[in-house]
Amino acid sequence: MKVYGPPWGKPIFSVDIHPDGTKFATGGQGEDSGKVMIWNMAPVLREDDEKNENIPKMLCQMDNHLACVNCVRWSNNGLYLASGGDDKLVMVWKRAAFIGPSTVFGSSSKLANVEQWRCVTILRNHTGDVMDVAWSPHDVWLASCSVDNTIVIWNARKFPEMVTWLRGHTGLVKGLTWDPVGKYIASQADDHSLRVWRTVDWQMEANITKPFSECGGTTHVLRLSWSPDGQYLVSAHAMNNSGPTAQIVERDGWKTNMDFVGHRKAVTVVKFNPKIFKKKQKNGSAPKPGCPYCCCAVGSKDRSLSVWLTSLKRPLVVIHDLFDKSIMDISWTLTGLGMLVCSMDGTVAYLDFSLDELGDPLNEEEKNSIHQNIYGKSLAITSTEAQLSTTIIENPEMLKYQQERQNSAQANLGPGSAGPESSAPKLNSVMNGESLEDIRKNLLKKQVETRTADGRRRITPLCIAQLDTGYGNTSLLLTSASKIEPMKALDSRFTERSKATPGVTAAISSIAGLTISALKDIKTKDDTSSDSEDKMASINKNLSFSKRKPETLMDGGEVVEKRKKGRPRKDKMAAPIAQPFTQPSRVAAPPAPPAALKLPTPSIKKAFSLQVSMEPAVFLEVENEVSLVAGSKLSQLRCSRDGRDWNTLLPSSVVTAAGSSSSLCLHRFDVVAVACQDRMLSVFSSCGRRLLPAIQLPTPVSALHCTAHFVMALTAGATLSVWDVQKQKALVKNESLLTILSGADTTVSQSLLTQQGVPVIGLSNGKSYCFSSSLETWTLIADKGDSLVQCADFRSCLPTQDALVSPGPLAVMQGRNLNAGRLASRLSSTPHHLQQSMTMAFLENQLASALTLQSAQEYRYWLLIYARFLVNEGSEYRLRELCKELLGPVHKSAATAWEPTTLGLRKRELLREVLPVIVENLRFQRLFTEYQDQLELLRNK
Amino acid sequence: MAKVQVLNVAVLDNPSPFGNPFQFEITFECMEDLPEDLEWKIIYVGSAESEEYDQVLDSVLVGPVPAGRHMFVFQADAPNTGLIPESDAVGVTVVLITCTYRGQEFIRIGYYVNNEYTEPELRENPPIKPDYTQLQRNILASNPRVTRFHINWEGSAERMEDCENVDPTSNSKVPPSCLPGKAPPLGILPDNSMDCL
């Protein structure tokens, strides 16, 4: 054991060893500010290095904190250092992008900073001293706690974004620890409580007060710790029979039956060794299946340190009088054999243990298998990436994928994330090859100097380097769920606008985006149908506004365009727009329909208009009973498309109309359909040519849709028909909805027709069905009450690229309730395998639904999520079956029924996309190799 | 924490005749885009006895300042000799560079300046009325004194009162508070000069 005292002699409040073990950080009081220092580990470990003057002891010091630094913590990846201090700030530091040592300007200190660490983010939110900070496993979050009684969770991938506050403590929060499997975070405060919070919904899981009720005197910190196997949480200062203890809290039921006793004063800090140990095998003796145990260091105000093994009843070692003042922090090396302890007295001690003393550390695989046994695979696997990376890669293709992955990961992290050699990144030069020296020679002449309005000199400084403080574009897995949000926007398209007079309609069309967004805003505020007046008022307000100020309109238009990013293509949106009569409120509200007519019908209006699409701008205008010729009333249908109009006359009043419009498709086959009072359905081409003779519907129409060259009619008699106008064939023939309309009050709340001509019906009971013409039956594609949807937790399998988020009919029908994993929190006590099965079932449902809906993009999207889930969960059989299905027979034979494509997607192409996913788990490298080889074989054929 | 850190100040054209303009090449780093300009000033301390004789040689606005590292040369005319007490013309005085943001000074960099005759004869027998044309100005560039003040960078009404990190030259024998206005004789200057470059 060696003692190492930093020279400034002021209290050291925190110490933390870098994950790579080459350096450590201390935090504490500086001269007039807080001080963070980074030290070289080598001189601490080896005496020779200590004596060698060429080896720097101090690497960097940062005076930026205005007041005492209470906590320093390295991120798990070692790229960042977080510090929290009495100045209420949390600072995040990163190795900076300059080359070579430097000193602080104006400082007389000869100690140059060997490494440059620069504050990249200041996290301001606490209103009191920050006492502790902690990075979550995998550095997804950073938590900080403060004397303002709160804990703040920061989004560590998008600083300074805040995820949430954890409120509830009624006293100063002085310690934080994350559960090693990432399910919980625990905090200890002066309010005599230890609280455990769930990371799923950030609600409190447990509030443990009993062991702390006697706690009197305050300690500066209460650094609690979670055991590496996740089974135990050990508190700082607790009391048992008037004696200070460190309370052991069991994960199972948060029981508090055991504690570490023996310190004479309050325990300030507890720190578990990151390793799990097993009994050292004696030479020659037969290996005994000993139970693995953990090792825990406890530091106290009584200036002594005790080290415990959970397998022993007594401490392994107790060291008294190591310091002159209270112990403030403890940090283990990742190897588990070294420990740094710091004290108020301004010194840091290094303790060295041998394997004989602690036992044999389990390797990561063994540790992982313990995690797997306790928590299941999905939680465990995420904690073993480091270990997997050391697995031998057998296949060069696999290696390539791995390297590509690493490269892209590094690209995301930006410069400075590479290995130690390249970790002094290049100056982000903007000087076009000119050397700094050249610039400096002419700077005075070259610099831009202007005069301000009041005659003052103003110099534009020459930017010689941009900050490389970017965190890269690593998108957060957890927020990608919100990308599904835009789907909700579609719901607002089911909006009645028929009150508008034709003149106004035209105007609306020109600012369609604007009005739609306005409607959407109103809709979210108040979703009842009674405020349609307000909606119109709002539209008109927008209208009159835009008429007066066209430039404002442009602005508005731009804004709307921006907001629309990530939403589905306009032509796809056209379908829902095209049918203004399926507004949910309308259907829910109508007067009781006659018994024979199950579904409501739109009322007949004198005139109405609707917009089929925005681009190209297509409008339909209907004017009923427009002229009297020989006593018969004629109705006029007018269509305007990109300024070209056509119109036609119909012998009966038009009840509803619909049109399809595709802007991209070259061979477009757009249709317009109208249903009349006499139950006649007429279909016209986009130029107004009648395509089919009038179709007689069995009952009055309830809803009408056109998508591409498909026309769907839902009748009041609850029957559904779909025609393919191009092929002049019926896809669905008078199919009754009675099978799905079970229950007296159930009615149709939504209907749509996909681009592939698959009809989808959403019911008021939350279920959505589509009619599969190949199976000739109704199939359930979404159920809002489905507990699988709400319990499935596949967030970790979501793709990170925006492009992969796929809009489509499935998402439209599920959009609102696809907050998968929402209820998962309530099931936090659910055994892992149960949730795993639910997620699997849910994902398989999604795949099947996408397949029935013939929604290729969605199928591909869910397939990749499903594959990733199988990979994460290690479900080899399913994965293998999936690959087998995608690959198909390698050798052609007549007997095979294997189709090379599904929904127009080539299955083998899909397999090529799935393979990189498989690579993510090295366990499956054999599987990967097998299918990679077969794909190659097929390609060469 | 200060959003602007001064990384280096290089004193250009030094030593130089008394009448030459001051030139400082200032390198600073800014953590985030500043919505307002920085205001830099050069103040010449005319006499150690009183702040009365301080002359603001010039002030410039510097901006816009995006996040990153920047440099500029701040040039200001030599002091008006008419405002300098004759007894203080020769010898040691101080020049200050200050920077303010939103009207709040957050850094003050001080240099000792030695004005002396180059001619040995004039050195021996300095004229009663100083001959500024013969004076040489020598700025002790190797020993800047930096004082940082904690200010409110956000621009809200809240004022920050505490002074941040007064003079990092902890081993300096000269307390920073006596820097402005009082120029101690060169003899007691610490010799642990640190080259800024």
Sequence-distant (≥ 6) Cβ neighbours of residue A258 within 8 angstroms: A248
* Predicted local confidence at residue A544, as pLDDT: 37
Q: Exposed (0-12), middle (13-18) or buried (19+): which is A454, by Cβ within 10 Å? A: exposed
Average pLDDT over residues A895-905: 78
Residue A318 backbone phi and psi in degrees, to 5? -125, 130
Burial A507-516 (b: 16+ CB within 10 A, else e): bbbbbbbbbb
The closest CB to that of A443, out of B25, B62, B192, belongs to B25
Q: Which two tokens stand for residue A20?
A: 């790579």
* Predicted local confidence at residue A332, as pLDDT: 94
pLDDT digits 0-9 by tens, A162-213: 889 999 999 999 999 999 888 899 999 999 999 999 888 888 999 999 889 8
* Predicted local confidence at residue A478, as pLDDT: 29
Average pLDDT over residues A30-50: 84
Q: How far is A5 from chain B (nearest CA, A)?
A: 19
CA A413 to chain centre: 17
pLDDT digits 0-9 by tens, A822-868: 444 444 455 667 777 888 888 888 888 888 888 888 888 888 889 88
Which positions in chain A touch B68 (Cβ < 8 Å)?
463-467
CA dihedral A881, A887, A890, A895 (to 10 degrees): 70
Question: In A, what residues contact B, Cβ < 8 A?
Answer: 31-33, 63-66, 87, 89, 91, 102-110, 119, 122, 440, 443-444, 447, 449, 452, 456-467, 469
Query: For residue A799, what pLDDT band results from cuts at 50, 70 and 90?
Result: low
| Whether the predicted pLDDT of A787 surpasses 80 | no
* Predicted local confidence at residue A827, as pLDDT: 46
Sequence-distant (≥ 6) Cβ neighbours of residue A548 within 8 angstroms: none
Q: Exposed (0-12), middle (13-18) or buried (19+): which is A928, by Cβ within 10 Å? A: buried
| Whether the predicted pLDDT of A447 surpasses 70 | yes
Instruction: Tell me whether residues A91 and B1 touch, CB distance under 8 A.
Output: yes
Sequence-distant (≥ 6) Cβ neighbours of residue A525 within 8 angstroms: none
Rounded to whole angstroms, the Cα distance separating B24 from A800 reads 49
Mutate to test the interface with A, among B72, B98, B112, B169 (most CBs of A within 10 A): B72
Q: A298-307, A771-780, B97-106: which range is least confident on average?
A: A771-780
* Predicted local confidence at residue A149, as pLDDT: 92
Q: How far is B194 from chain A (nearest CA, A)?
A: 6
Residue A816 or B153, more confident: B153
Q: A350-364, B90-104, B163-177: which range is least confident on average?
A: B163-177
> Side chain identity at B85, as an amino acid letter?
P
Average pLDDT over residues A495-508: 32
* Predicted local confidence at residue A662, as pLDDT: 66
Q: Which of A403, A278, A345, A249 is nearest to A28 (CA)?
A: A345
Which positions in chain B touch A104 (Cβ < 8 Å)?
168
pLDDT digits 0-9 by tens, A805-833: 556 777 777 764 454 444 444 444 556 67
Which positions in chain B touch A461 (Cβ < 8 Å)?
28, 62-63, 65, 70-72
Q: How far is A106 from chain B (nearest CA, A)?
A: 5
* Predicted local confidence at residue A268, as pLDDT: 93
* Predicted local confidence at residue A628, as pLDDT: 63
Q: Which of A60, A113, A79, A119 is nearest to A467 (CA)?
A: A119
Instruction: Tell me whether residues B68 and A443 touch, CB distance under 8 A.
Output: no
Element of type H or E holding B135? strand B135-139
* Predicted local confidence at residue A142, as pLDDT: 93
| Whether the predicted pLDDT of A60 surpasses 70 | yes
Rounded to whole angstroms, the Cα distance separating A300 from A303 reads 6
Residue A277 backbone phi and psi in degrees, to 5? -115, 160
Residue A798 or B123, more confident: B123
Taking all residues of chain A, what is their mean pLDDT, rounded to a whole number?
A: 74
Residue A601 Cα distances to A587, A589, A649, angstroms: 9, 12, 22
- For A446-587, list the strands marked E by DSSP: 448-451, 457-460, 462-465
* Predicted local confidence at residue A830, as pLDDT: 58
Instruction: Tell me whether residues A122 and B1 touch, CB distance under 8 A.
Output: yes
Rounded to whole angstroms, the Cα distance separating A66 from A119 reads 13
pLDDT digits 0-9 by tens, B67-121: 888 889 999 999 998 888 888 888 888 999 999 999 999 899 999 999 999 888 8
Which positions in chain B touch A110 (Cβ < 8 Å)?
192, 194
Residue A285 or A692, more confident: A692
* Predicted local confidence at residue B98, as pLDDT: 93
Helix axes A502-510 and A512-525, enclosed angle (nearest 10): 90
Instruction: Tell me whether residues B6 and A465 touch, CB distance under 8 A.
Output: no
| Whether the predicted pLDDT of A216 surpasses 50 | yes
Q: Tell me the CA end-to-end span of chain B in Å, nearest whole number.
A: 25
Q: Read off the DSSP letter of residue A101.
A: -
Which positions in chain A touch B28 (Cβ < 8 Å)?
461
Question: Which residue on chain B is closest to A458 by alpha carbon?
Answer: B61
Cα–Cα–Cα angle for A606, A610, A615, nearest 5°?
A: 160
Question: Which residue on chain A is closest to B150 by alpha carbon?
Answer: A66
| Whether the predicted pLDDT of B160 surpasses 50 | no
* Predicted local confidence at residue A327, as pLDDT: 92
Q: A449-453, A769-773, A806-810: which range is least confident on average?
A: A806-810
Rounded to whole angstroms, the Cα distance separating A134 from A222 reads 13
- Name the percent of chain B lying above pLDDT 90: 31
Residue B57 or B181, more confident: B57
Instruction: Tell me whether residues B66 and A465 touch, CB distance under 8 A.
Output: no
Q: Is A832 within 8 Å of A824 (Cβ atoms)?
A: no
| Whether the predicted pLDDT of A424 surpasses 50 | no
| Whether the predicted pLDDT of A231 surpasses 80 | yes
Rounded to whole angstroms, the Cα distance separating A659 from B82 reads 88
pLDDT digits 0-9 by tens, A117-141: 888 888 988 999 999 999 998 888 9
Rounded to whole angstroms, the Cα distance separating A135 from A559 reads 37
Instruction: Tell me whether residues A456 and B75 touch, CB distance under 8 A.
Output: no
Rounded to whole angstroms, the Cα distance separating A145 from A168 reads 12
Q: Looking at the DSSP assignment, which residues form a beta bridge with residue A293? A: A277
Rounded to whole angstroms, the Cα distance separating B197 from B191 reads 17
pLDDT digits 0-9 by tens, A707-761: 888 889 988 888 889 988 888 888 888 888 888 887 667 788 888 888 888 888 8
* Predicted local confidence at residue B37, as pLDDT: 92
Which positions in chain A touch B4 (Cβ < 8 Å)?
none
3-class DSSP assignment, residue A191: coil
3-class DSSP assignment, residue A96: coil
How many helices (H) and strands (E) chain B has is answered by: 1, 10
Instruction: Tell me whether residues A64 and B8 touch, CB distance under 8 A.
Output: no
Which positions in chain A touch B37 (Cβ < 8 Å)?
458
CA A81 to chain centre: 23
Rounded to whole angstroms, the Cα distance separating B14 from B6 reads 20
* Predicted local confidence at residue A83, as pLDDT: 95
* Predicted local confidence at residue A272, as pLDDT: 94
Average pLDDT over residues A435-462: 81
Rounded to whole angstroms, the Cα distance separating A201 from A179 reads 15
Residue A747 backbone phi and psi in degrees, to 5? -145, 175
Cα–Cα–Cα angle for A87, A89, A92, nearest 5°?
A: 135
- Name the percent of chain A lying above pLDDT 70: 68
Q: A556-570, B48-62, B148-162: which range is least confident on average?
A: A556-570
Mutate to test the interface with B, among A89, A90, A105, A110 (most CBs of B within 10 A): A105
Q: How far is B150 from chain A (nearest CA, A)?
A: 8
The closest CB to that of B61, out of A110, A447, A452, belongs to A452
The closest CB to that of B68, out of A102, A119, A467, belongs to A467
CA B15 to chain centre: 15
> Side chain identity at A558, as an amino acid letter?
E
Q: Which two tokens stand for residue A767?
A: 């279920």
Query: For residue A7, what pLDDT band results from cuts at 50, 70 and 90?
Result: low
ipTM exceeding 0.90, yes/no: no
* Predicted local confidence at residue A615, as pLDDT: 67
Residue A8 backbone phi and psi in degrees, to 5? -85, -10
Rounded to whole angstroms, the Cα distance separating B35 from B66 reads 9
Cα–Cα–Cα angle for A594, A599, A605, nearest 5°?
A: 90
Q: A218-232, A337-351, A604-618: which range is least confident on average?
A: A604-618
| Whether the predicted pLDDT of A536 surpasses 80 | no
Helix residue ranges, H only, A292-413: 355-358, 364-375, 377-381, 385-388, 396-413
Residue A521 Cα distances to A335, A488, A815, B160, B184, angstroms: 56, 12, 17, 41, 70
Average pLDDT over residues A789-807: 59
